[in-house]
């Protein structure tokens, strides 16, 4: 039965039974929602009636993350997450991830891996979308068979495979206070990425191990799966590696990843642009991924240290219309799981950047050497523990082609000390400035929300309206917004 | 053989009446640097013999190689006047010692930003004109710039040696040529009537014109000869000078002066008789090695030669003799000291041009009086690379007060606004340095009226800045320089090895500093862009970037890229409407082209957001035929709040309109920066808000709803108004002999250029051609032209205007459409333009 295998009904039931969960939330992405009732029905048959099942859909943030807040509404004890996932660690609830099983021709895939591996001569590292995890053992086997049949004629090409780290995420391992988590993880991650001794890598739920003394650059990355955020993240993170993508649905090989380098360049531009920002909005893009609070605090601190003003927004999934409601922000930092963090900002009024990019932008003296980090634990660890020595040089802005210094840093620290009065001061200052040139069409650049408001030509309802008499009753428009009644007539 | 020490120099720096700050300006290849050499020779830094060959001020290897000056270089010279020559000097002075701060500037139009920077810190200019080629386009440009800055000019007619050796023209013909050169220069100068500066035209009979041969190191003014003859004829020196120029003729047979040629064969013009002929005679005698004749002649002139010099032959002998008889330095330096203003004099009238703040505050007064005890006012006009890699000297002029080693200064950058903290730093000067050719000398302090280089400020100044004392918080900055060229040619650069990116970033930073004009920026696509005034300029910049500023790390540069502008041809064919994302708000808009000349007026700053609205509506009404009421309803200029596009409110009686003004303006700023065709800037478009329908609840008509809608409706109105591309166009001036004309015309035709003026230079076989040439076509233009004319034509290109491309970018396959597709591809956009239906909504 397809439903049974695709949704792994038996495994889910076993998981629930073995942990004695009684309230279980089933989280479906939009595209799988149509199957939800059948899945529930199938599970019902397996489980005793004491277990309550809840279907969750339309998650506030990306559907790849576990919606812990949603689950908390029904006091669920665990979440079963279906479909594509980023496998970000959860902070409160245990979760079981069911990736689903996408169909793939193992022989075609293996042939492609083999032929491409031979062509490049580099050792091949096979990575894959989680929906293809089920087929990997088969591919592996196939490949070994093919390779041995060819081994007489060719030199040895090494093959490495990534593993799915774990499809069950238990918060007990990671639910320590966030800052402690940072420390623990930092040791591990530092070991992984910067030192040569241990060679563990992990990303988007995959983990792999390389022999000592080898760099990622020496490998050919072979990605099996679609061109989705997971792949984009891979391409960004390992932007100096050669990457090919095998599309299983179309059974074709894509070797041209120039689009990815374009994205990287574009991100670089956004970082430069963020450097010029005066006001920064921090978007809370997740309430589930472990360490998100820590990152938000870290970002806030970073922004303040850079002499800029930060505002934190919780608005669910960001879209251009939502963000444009805050035109005072010059840039937004999207704190979310790795796979929803990259937003193409062309349509947005202000650029949206990731926390890593924010670190590049707001930390003095930091330079982009090509490395790219998206996952929280690595980000937390990459903050320098010692305060970097203030670089003497003024900041050079490539957008303006010269040195700029937006704020006197020392001055700003003083302002921060007496929080509330600072706002008043800033408002006053802004008001003065406005008075001076209320006649002209340009005004100085605002440095806080209060100053921005003062700069606006419209600042809200005018209470001092001189005419206090009640106004005459007028009849308004009637009809629908798509065309009011009187307009319909005009239009036709 | 240094004749003077830095201590000596420092001492004269305090005598503000005995200082002359001057720049040498001219067309390319008219002999500025060579002439400067002869002056430097007089101050004793290089040997007299080598003058003319060394090009002291061309300090860079590539300058020497190409034989052109690229960077302007400053030199401080020391000169002692004799009492006799100062006899009739009326101005204030302090002893006979003079300090001349000289700046040699490049002549090629691509580097004219260097000239601008040089002019700012000088008070006088020595205009060098080739006596054969005459006043050329660049002479005119720099002269206009000088006069705009209230710089007093003196002229030297250079390359006199060509008259004697190469062309061998007779006296009268030479006189006519010189007369014409001077007249041409005076025509330009006459247009700058300025009561404060007085008459700026130059007259040989007043001593403000010199005649020089830079290559041979000799020069004279009529003063030299007048002095010589005054005693002989027993007349006053000034009287004699008048006789040596203009319609004054002398007949040796009758020994009579007349005001017109008597027709007698011995009757000659005074200039020819007494100046030209004697020189010609000496030169010929030397060239023919008629030494037996030469020595008595020299003796008569009072010229004594050293014995070893007497052994010289031919040209070398001639050079030596002429240098001894009529040393260039004496003639030119004395002319400058006599006729160019001292800082004390010049700053009195220049303060208006210089100071941005109120002209009656302490700082303006200190500048006006050139007060060494006043507050420091120093303008840094350029950054000069220092010998230790990556560091720069801040080079500028002290207008008031004193700058000293260790002084804490307030650095006001170009974006500084008094009362705010933006672009403001307080740092201390590590060292003050003065320039002596290739050497720098550290001095304790430098008082006002002098040029100075400072160490330790380069990390806070990009290109220029105003410095004042730490405590002077009320000081306004000195006005920014206005360049006559703009960076229209751009290339994208990237490093060959990705990990060199920090090097590239650092290198670009330094490049931006090292040149007054170059612009280092970043594109939306993440590419680093270097923009310069022309092909040559860019070439030099990129070479500097790679070799000097990036330590040789390899870079890849793209083909030159030209930025376009997007405009409209007509008014929108209909009023277009866009709905907000929630469908509850609607904006109606129309686009129309701005009136002719209005975009340029905005560019020039005649009309802008900072104007008094009354003034603005007056100009708009009177010059551009706007309705006075409408002129008051301009909401904004854009892009960047100052650009040549506008959004105007045409609504009548709309509720809540004031509420969405900020949002519409924000959307307009965004849209005008990235037009709908190829995301290039818009230009010359007026967007009229015709009507709006808004939701009654404020929450549903916030920025989030209105900003994206405003952008969309602007795009829609743009597309419906016959959008067009504007391309930048150079004005090209070419000077060439008649036989090269055919080649020039064919190259121009091939490159879509067209000639709008062709003129023969009177008295020469040379033609002057002025043409318009699209910047896109200009790459490789000069080399093609050189090939087609066997090297006889040398073009000077300068950005002139934006020209509308006639083809319709919306029509598939047209030239403009292809161009749009190319730009979009380069920028990484979808190749297909977004269709109108994406922007416009219907009821």
The residue among B834, B120, B117, B127 whose CA lies nearest residue B514 is B117
**Average of pLDDT values for B150-171?**
85
- CA dist B321 and B327 (Å) reads 9
B421 touches chain A (CB under 8 A): yes
A409 touches chain B (CB under 8 A): no
Contacts of A267 in chain B (CB under 8 A): 526
Quick one: pLDDT at residue B683? 93
Q: What whole-number percentage of chain B has pLDDT above 90?
A: 12
Structure-token pair, residue B47: 């040997």
Instruction: Give the strand pairing for A402-404 and A395-397.
Output: antiparallel
Q: What is the CA radius of gyration of chain A?
A: 27
B700-743 pLDDT, tens digit per residue, is: 888 889 999 999 999 999 999 999 999 999 888 888 888 888 88
- CA dist B183 and B180 (Å) reads 5
Is the pLDDT higher at A88 or at A268?
A268
- CA dist A267 and B390 (Å) reads 28
Grouping H, G, I as helix, E, B as strand and the rest as coil, residue B161 is helix
**Average of pLDDT values for A474-484?**
76
Quick one: pLDDT at residue A392? 62
Confidence class for position A34, pLDDT limits 50, 70, 90: confident
- CA dist A433 and A440 (Å) reads 12
Name the residue with tokens 């002479």.
Answer: B139
Quick one: pLDDT at residue B569? 92
Quick one: pLDDT at residue B587? 92
Grouping H, G, I as helix, E, B as strand and the rest as coil, residue B255 is coil
- Give ranges for CATH 3.40.50.11860 in chain A: 264-452
CA A256 to mean position of chain CA atoms? 24
**Average of pLDDT values for A449-464?**
72
- For B711, other C-beta atoms within 10 Å of its C-beta total 27
The enclosing H or E element of B352 equals helix B343-354
Quick one: pLDDT at residue B577? 92
- CA dist B446 and B440 (Å) reads 14
Is the pLDDT higher at B268 or at B437?
B268
- CA dist A437 and B493 (Å) reads 41
> Is the pLDDT confidence value at A195 over 70?
no
B538-590 pLDDT, tens digit per residue, is: 888 888 888 888 877 888 888 888 889 999 999 999 999 999 988 888 999 99
> Is the pLDDT confidence value at A29 over 70?
yes
- Interface contact B524-A268, CB threshold 8 A: no
Nearest CB to B423 within list A267, A396, A404: A404
Mean pLDDT rounded to a whole number for chain B: 84
A264-452 CATH pick, 3.40.50.2300, 3.40.50.2000, 3.50.50.60, 3.40.50.11860: 3.40.50.11860
Alpha carbon separation from B114 to A65, A335, B70, B511, B730 (Å, rounded): 59, 48, 8, 14, 20
> Is the pLDDT confidence value at A193 over 70?
no
Grouping H, G, I as helix, E, B as strand and the rest as coil, residue B833 is coil
B411 touches chain A (CB under 8 A): no
**Average of pLDDT values for B206-225?**
87
Quick one: pLDDT at residue B571? 92
Instruction: Give the strand pairing for B681-682 and B565-568.
Output: parallel
Is the pLDDT higher at A225 or at B689?
B689
| Phi and psi, residue B670, nearest 5° | -65, -50
Quick one: pLDDT at residue B701? 85
Rounded to a whole number of angstroms, the distance from the CA of B457 to the nearest CA of chain A is: 9
Name the residue with tokens 């691509």.
Answer: B110
- Interface contact B522-A398, CB threshold 8 A: yes
Confidence class for position B57, pLDDT limits 50, 70, 90: low
Contacts of A320 in chain B (CB under 8 A): 581, 704, 708
Report DSSP letters for B286-341, one per residue. HHTT-HHHHHHHHHHHT----TGGGG--HHHHHHHHHHHHSBHHHHHHHHHHHHSP
Candidates A322, A328, A348, A481, partner chain B, best to mutate (most B CBs within 10 A):
A481
pTM for the whole structure: 0.81
Mean pLDDT rounded to a whole number for chain A: 73
Sheet holding A331-335, edge to edge: A309-313, A279-284, A331-335, A352-353
Is the pLDDT higher at A244 or at B182?
B182
> Is the pLDDT confidence value at B475 over 90?
no
Quick one: pLDDT at residue A464? 59
- Interface contact A404-B498, CB threshold 8 A: no
Grouping H, G, I as helix, E, B as strand and the rest as coil, residue B783 is helix
Quick one: pLDDT at residue B438? 63
Structure-token pair, residue B32: 């500025």
> Is the pLDDT confidence value at A422 over 70?
no
> Is the pLDDT confidence value at A181 over 80?
no
- CA dist A366 and A59 (Å) reads 36
Interface of B with A in 479-538 (CB under 8 A): 498-499, 501-502, 505, 508-509, 512, 519-528
> Is the pLDDT confidence value at A114 over 80?
no
If you average pLDDT over each of A8-12, B606-610, B802-806, which comes out highest?
A: B802-806
What is the ipTM score, two decimals? 0.80
**Average of pLDDT values for A135-151?**
75
- Interface contact A396-B609, CB threshold 8 A: no
Contacts of B415 in chain A (CB under 8 A): 400, 402, 404
**Average of pLDDT values for A16-37?**
87
Interface of A with B in 342-361 (CB under 8 A): 347, 349
Confidence class for position A345, pLDDT limits 50, 70, 90: low
Structure-token pair, residue B706: 């209105």
Buried/exposed code over B236-258 (b: 16+ C-beta within 10 A; e: otherwise): ebeebbbbbbeebbbbeeeeeee
Confidence class for position A157, pLDDT limits 50, 70, 90: low
Q: Which of A270-274, B180-184, B248-252, B827-831 has the lowest mean pLDDT?
A: B827-831
Contacts of A425 in chain B (CB under 8 A): none
Q: Which of A194-203, B22-31, B275-284, B792-801 has the lowest mean pLDDT?
A: A194-203
**Average of pLDDT values for A375-388?**
60
- CA dist B797 and B778 (Å) reads 9
- CA dist B441 and B840 (Å) reads 67
> Is A313 in contact with A281 (CB distance < 8 Å)?
yes
**Average of pLDDT values for B165-170?**
79
The residue among A91, A99, A84, A100 whose CA lies nearest residue A29 is A84
Candidates B708, B715, B825, B842, partner chain A, best to mutate (most A CBs within 10 A):
B708
> Is B598 in contact with B606 (CB distance < 8 Å)?
no
- Interface contact B502-A367, CB threshold 8 A: yes
Quick one: pLDDT at residue B715? 94
- CA dist B112 and B142 (Å) reads 8
- CA dist A91 and A424 (Å) reads 39
A438 touches chain B (CB under 8 A): no
User: Is the CATH number of domain A2-98 1.10.110.30?
Assistant: no
Sheet holding A78-82, edge to edge: A52-56, A23-27, A78-82, A95-98, A168-169
- Give ranges for CATH 3.40.50.11840 in chain A: 2-98
Quick one: pLDDT at residue B427? 86
B633-659 pLDDT, tens digit per residue, is: 889 898 888 889 999 998 887 777 888
- Interface contact A370-B499, CB threshold 8 A: yes
Alpha carbon separation from B578 to A321, A479, B501, B587, B712 (Å, rounded): 14, 19, 43, 6, 7
The residue among B609, B91, B265, B639 whose CA lies nearest residue A444 is B609
- CA dist B145 and B60 (Å) reads 26
Is the pLDDT higher at B765 or at A184?
B765
Instruction: Give the strand pairing for B489-495 and B561-562.
Output: antiparallel
> Is A361 in contact with A269 (CB distance < 8 Å)?
no
Q: Minimal Cα distance from A430: which residue of B?
A: B420
- Interface contact B520-A487, CB threshold 8 A: no
Q: Which of A196-205, B389-398, B466-475, B565-574 has the lowest mean pLDDT?
A: A196-205
> Is the pLDDT confidence value at A152 over 60?
no
Alpha carbon separation from A273 to A269, A318, B619 (Å, rounded): 6, 20, 37
Rounded to a whole number of angstroms, the distance from the CA of A199 to the nearest CA of chain B is: 22
Q: What whole-number percentage of chain B has pLDDT above 70?
A: 96
Confidence class for position A187, pLDDT limits 50, 70, 90: very low
- For B46, other C-beta atoms within 10 Å of its C-beta total 19
> Is B209 in contact with B183 (CB distance < 8 Å)?
no
- CA dist B601 and B655 (Å) reads 34
Contacts of B498 in chain A (CB under 8 A): 239-240, 370
Instruction: Give the strand pairing for B519-522 and B402-404.
Output: unpaired
> Is the pLDDT confidence value at A171 over 80?
no
- CA dist B592 and B573 (Å) reads 10
Interface of B with A in 637-696 (CB under 8 A): 637, 641-642, 658-663, 666, 670, 695-696
Q: How many CB pairs under 8 A join A and B?
A: 152
Name the burial class of residue B166, with classes exposed (0-12), middle (13-18) and buried (19+) by CB atoms within 10 angstroms of its CB.
exposed
> Is B484 in contact with B492 (CB distance < 8 Å)?
no
Rounded to a whole number of angstroms, the distance from the CA of A187 to the nearest CA of chain B is: 26
> Is B323 in contact with B298 (CB distance < 8 Å)?
no
- CA dist A39 and B574 (Å) reads 55
Quick one: pLDDT at residue B49? 43
> Is B101 in contact with B124 (CB distance < 8 Å)?
no
B190 touches chain A (CB under 8 A): no
A414 touches chain B (CB under 8 A): no
**Average of pLDDT values for B194-223?**
85
3-state secondary structure B533-560: CCHHHHHHHHHHHHHHHCCCCCEEECCC
3-state secondary structure chain A: CHHHHHCCHHHHHHHHHHHCCCEEEEECCHHHHHHHHHHHHHHHHHCCCCCEEEEECCCCCCCCCCCHHHHHHCCCCEEEEECCCCCCCECCCCEEEECCCCCCCHHHHHHHHHHHHHHHCCCEEEEECHHHHHHHHHHHHHHHHHHHHHCCCCCCCCEEECEECCCEECHHHHCCCHHHHHHHHHHHHHHHHCCCCCCEEEECCEEEECCCCCCHHHCEEEEECCCCHHHHHHHHHCCCCEEEEEECCCCEEECCCHHHHHHHHHHHHHHHHHHCCCEEEEEECCCCECCHHHHHHHHHHHHHHCCCEEEEECCCCCCHHHHCCCCCCCEEEEECCCCCCCCCHHHCCCCEECHHHHHHHHCCCCCCCCCCCCCHHHHHHHCCCCCCCCCCCCEEECCCCEEECCCCHHHHHHHHHCHHHHHHHHHHHHHHHHHHCCCCCCCCCCCCHHHHHHHCCCCCCCCCCCCCCCCCCCCCCCEECCEEHHHHHHHC
Interface of A with B in 44-63 (CB under 8 A): none
């Amino acid at each position: 039965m397809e439903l049974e295998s695709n949704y792994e009904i038996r495994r889910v039931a076993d998981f629930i039974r073995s942990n004695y969960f009684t309230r279980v939330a089933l989280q479906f992405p939009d595209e799988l929602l149509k199957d939800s009732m059948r899945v529930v029905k199938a599970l019902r048959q397996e489980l005793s009636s004491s277990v309550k099942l809840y279907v969750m859909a339309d998650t506030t943030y990306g559907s790849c993350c576990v919606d812990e807040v949603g689950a908390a509404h029904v006091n669920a004890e665990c979440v079963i997450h279906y479909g594509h996932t980023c496998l970000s660690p959860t902070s409160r609830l245990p979760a079981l991830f069911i990736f689903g099983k996408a169909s793939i021709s193992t022989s075609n895939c293996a042939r492609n891996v083999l032929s491409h591996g031979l062509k490049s001569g580099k050792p091949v590292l096979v990575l894959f979308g989680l929906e293809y995890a089920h087929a990997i053992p088969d591919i592996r086997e196939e490949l070994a068979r093919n390779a041995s049949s060819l081994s007489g004629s060719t030199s040895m090409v090494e093959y490495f495979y990534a593993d799915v780290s774990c499809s069950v995420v238990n918060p007990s391992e990671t639910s320590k206070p966030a800052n402690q988590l940072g420390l623990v993880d930092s040791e591990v991650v530092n070991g992984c990425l910067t030192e040569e001794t241990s060679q563990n890598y992990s990303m988007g739920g995959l983990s792999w191990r390389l022999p000592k003394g080898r760099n990622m650059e020496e490998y050919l990355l072979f990605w099996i799966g679609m061109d989705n955020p997971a792949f984009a993240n891979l391409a960004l993170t390992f932007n100096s590696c050669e990457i090919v993508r095998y599309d299983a649905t179309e059974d074709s090989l894509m070797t041209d990843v120039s689009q990815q380098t374009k994205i990287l360049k574009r991100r670089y531009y956004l970082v430069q642009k963020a450097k010029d920002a005066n006001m920064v909005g921090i978007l809370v893009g997740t309430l589930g991924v472990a360490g998100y609070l820590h990152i938000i605090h870290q970002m806030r601190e970073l922004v303040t240290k850079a002499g800029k003003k930060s505002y934190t927004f919780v608005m669910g999934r960001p879209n251009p219309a939502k963000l444009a409601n805050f035109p005072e922000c010059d840039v937004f930092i999207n704190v979310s799981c790795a796979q929803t963090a990259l937003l193409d900002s062309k349509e947005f009024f202000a650029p949206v950047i990731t926390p890593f990019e924010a670190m590049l932008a707001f930390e003095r003296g930091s330079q982009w050497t090509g490395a790219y980090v998206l996952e929280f634990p690595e980000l937390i660890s990459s903050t320098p523990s010692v305060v970097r020595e203030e670089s003497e040089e003024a900041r050079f802005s490539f957008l303006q082609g010269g040195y700029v210094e937006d704020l006197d840093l020392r001055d700003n620290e003083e302002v921060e000390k007496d929080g509330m009065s600072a706002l008043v001061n800033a408002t006053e200052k802004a008001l003065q400035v406005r008075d001076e040139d209320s006649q002209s069409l340009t005004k100085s650049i605002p440095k806080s929300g209060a100053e921005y408001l003062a700069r606006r030509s419209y600042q809200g309802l005018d209470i001092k309206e001189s005419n206090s008499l009640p106004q005459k009753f007028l009849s308004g428009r009637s009809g629908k917004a798509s065309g009011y009644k009187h307009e319909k007539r005009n239009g036709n | 053989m240094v004749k003077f020490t830095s201590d000596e120099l420092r001492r004269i720096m305090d005598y503000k009446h005995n200082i002359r700050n001057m720049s040498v300006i001219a067309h390319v290849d008219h002999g500025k640097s060579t002439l400067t050499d002869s002056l430097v020779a007089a101050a004793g830094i290089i040997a007299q013999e080598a003058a003319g060959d060394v090009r002291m001020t061309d300090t860079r290897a590539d300058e020497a190689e190409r034989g052109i000056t690229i960077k302007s270089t400053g030199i401080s010279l020391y000169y002692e006047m004799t009492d006799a020559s100062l006899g009739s000097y009326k101005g204030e002075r302090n002893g006979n010692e003079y300090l001349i701060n000289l700046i040699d500037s490049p002549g090629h139009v691509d580097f004219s930003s260097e000239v601008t920077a040089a002019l700012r810190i000088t008070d006088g200019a020595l205009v060098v004109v080739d006596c054969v080629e005459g006043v050329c386009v660049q002479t005119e440009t720099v002269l206009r710039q000088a006069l705009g800055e209230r710089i007093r000019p003196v002229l030297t007619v250079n390359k006199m040696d060509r008259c004697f050796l190469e062309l061998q023209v007779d006296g009268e013909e030479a006189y006519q040529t010189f007369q014409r050169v001077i007249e041409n220069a005076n025509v330009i100068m006459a247009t700058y009537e300025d009561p404060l500066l007085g008459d700026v035209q130059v007259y040989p009979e007043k001593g403000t014109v010199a005649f020089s041969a830079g290559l041979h190191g000799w020069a004279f003014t009529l003063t030299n000869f007048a002095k010589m003859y005054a005693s002989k004829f027993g007349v006053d020196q000034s009287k004699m000078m008048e006789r040596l120029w203009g319609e004054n003729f002398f007949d040796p047979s009758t020994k009579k002066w007349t005001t017109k040629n008597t027709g007698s064969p011995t009757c000659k013009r005074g200039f020819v008789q007494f100046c030209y002929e004697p020189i010609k005679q000496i030169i010929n005698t030397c060239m023919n090695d008629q030494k037996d004749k030469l020595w008595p002649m020299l003796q008569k002139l009072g010229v004594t030669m050293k014995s070893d010099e007497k052994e010289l032959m031919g040209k070398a002998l001639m050079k030596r003799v002429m240098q001894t008889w009529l040393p260039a330095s004496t003639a030119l330096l004395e002319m400058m000291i006599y006729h160019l203003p001292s800082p004390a004099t010049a700053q009195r009238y220049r303060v208006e041009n210089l100071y941005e703040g109120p002209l009656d505050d302490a700082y303006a007064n200190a500048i006006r009086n050139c007060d060494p005890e006043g507050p420091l006012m120093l303008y840094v006009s350029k950054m000069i690379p220092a010998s230790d890699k990556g560091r720069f000297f801040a080079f500028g002029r002290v207008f008031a007060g004193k700058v000293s080693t260790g002084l804490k200064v307030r650095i006001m950058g170009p974006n500084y606004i008094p009362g705010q903290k933006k672009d403001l730093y307080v740092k201390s000067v590590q060292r003050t340095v003065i320039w002596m050719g290739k050497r720098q000398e550290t001095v304790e302090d430098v008082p006002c009226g002098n040029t100075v280089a400072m160490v330790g400020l380069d990390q806070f100044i990009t290109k220029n800045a105003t410095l004042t004392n730490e405590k002077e918080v009320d000081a306004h900055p000195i006005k920014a320089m206005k360049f006559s060229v703009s960076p229209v040619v751009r290339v994208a650069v990237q490093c060959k090895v990705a990990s060199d990116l920090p090097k590239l970033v650092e290198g670009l930073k330094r490049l931006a500093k090292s040149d007054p004009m170059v612009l280092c920026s970043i594109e939306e696509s993440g590419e680093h862009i270097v923009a310069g005034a022309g092909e040559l300029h860019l070439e030099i910049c990129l070479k500097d970037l790679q070799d000097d500023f990036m330590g040789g790390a390899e870079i890849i540069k793209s083909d030159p890229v030209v930025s376009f502008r997007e405009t409209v041809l007509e008014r929108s064919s209909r009023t277009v409407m866009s709905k907000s994302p929630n469908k509850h708000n609607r904006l109606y808009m129309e686009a129309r082209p701005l009136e002719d000349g209005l975009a340029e007026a905005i560019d020039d700053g005649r009309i802008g957001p900072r104007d008094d609205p009354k003034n603005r509506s007056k100009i708009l009404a009177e010059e551009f035929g706007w309705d006075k009421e409408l002129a008051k309803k301009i909401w904004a200029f854009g892009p960047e709040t100052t650009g040549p596009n506008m959004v105007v409110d045409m609504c009548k009686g709309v509720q809540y309109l004031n509420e969405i003004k900020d949002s519409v303006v924000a959307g307009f700023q965004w849209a005008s920066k990235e037009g709908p065709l190829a995301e290039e800037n818009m230009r010359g478009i007026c967007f009229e808000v015709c009507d709006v329908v808004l939701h009654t609840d404020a929450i549903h008509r916030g920025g989030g709803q209105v900003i994206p809608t405003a952008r969309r409706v602007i795009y829609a109105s743009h597309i419906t108004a016959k959008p067009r591309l504007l391309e930048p166009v150079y004005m090209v001036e070419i000077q060439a002999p008649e036989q090269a004309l055919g080649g020039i015309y064919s190259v121009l035709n091939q490159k879509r250029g067209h000639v709008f003026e062709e003129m023969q230079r009177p008295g020469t076989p040379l033609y002057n051609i002025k043409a318009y040439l699209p910047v896109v076509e200009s790459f490789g233009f000069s080399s093609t032209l050189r090939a087609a004319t066997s090297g006889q034509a040398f073009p000077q290109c300068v950005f002139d205007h934006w020209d509308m491309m006639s083809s319709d970018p919306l029509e598939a396959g047209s030239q403009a459409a292809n161009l749009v597709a190319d730009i979009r591809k380069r920028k990484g956009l979808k190749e297909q333009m977004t269709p109108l239906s994406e922007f416009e909504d219907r009821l």
